Amino acid sequence: MQISNEFNRFMHGVVLSYVHSLRYLKIEGLRVGIRPFYLSFDALKQLLKYLDFDYPRNELGVPISYTRLSVFDMLSHIAFIQTVLAENGLLQDFLDEFYKEIESV
C-alpha cells in the first residue's frame, strides 16, 4: 500500500517545513551537521533521504520518491527525522506542531 497524496502533502507541509526552519541540525550517529535553513527545500528533502540508511532506494542506489513509499517506509523515515530532532532537543516543539496540524484535519 502506497501513501496517499494527502499524507505526502502533510509530510511536506509539516515535517519538512519544520526541519527547514531550523538554523542548525546535527546527526550524531553520522557525525554530520547541516544548516537546513540555508538549503533549498528539495535539497533538504534529498539530503534527509540519503542520510537515512533505511530509506528505500532503487537499483542504482538513488532514494525513491515519497509517492512510491509504502506506509511503513514513510513512517520509518518520519521516525528517523524524529530521532534526529530528539538528539538536538527539538522533538517536543516538533510534536506540538505535529499534533496541532493533525487536529485541524
What is the structure's pLDDT at 105? 58
CB 19, CB 11: distance < 8 Å: no
Does the reported pTM lie above 0.85?
A: no
What is the structure's pLDDT at 35? 93
Q: Which residues of 47-73 are buried (b: 16+ CB within 10 A; e: fewer)?
A: bbbebbeebbeeeeeebeebeebeeeb
Residue range of the domain that includes 96: 5-103
**Residue ranges of the chain whose pLDDT lies below 70:** 1-4, 104-105
What is the structure's pLDDT at 30? 82
Q: 70 in helix, strand or coil?
A: strand
What is the structure's pLDDT at 1? 54
As a whole number of angstroms, the distance between CA 64 and CA 91 comes to 26
Question: What's the domain count of the chain?
Answer: 1
What is the structure's pLDDT at 58? 94
Tell how far CA 5 is from the center of its chain.
Answer: 16
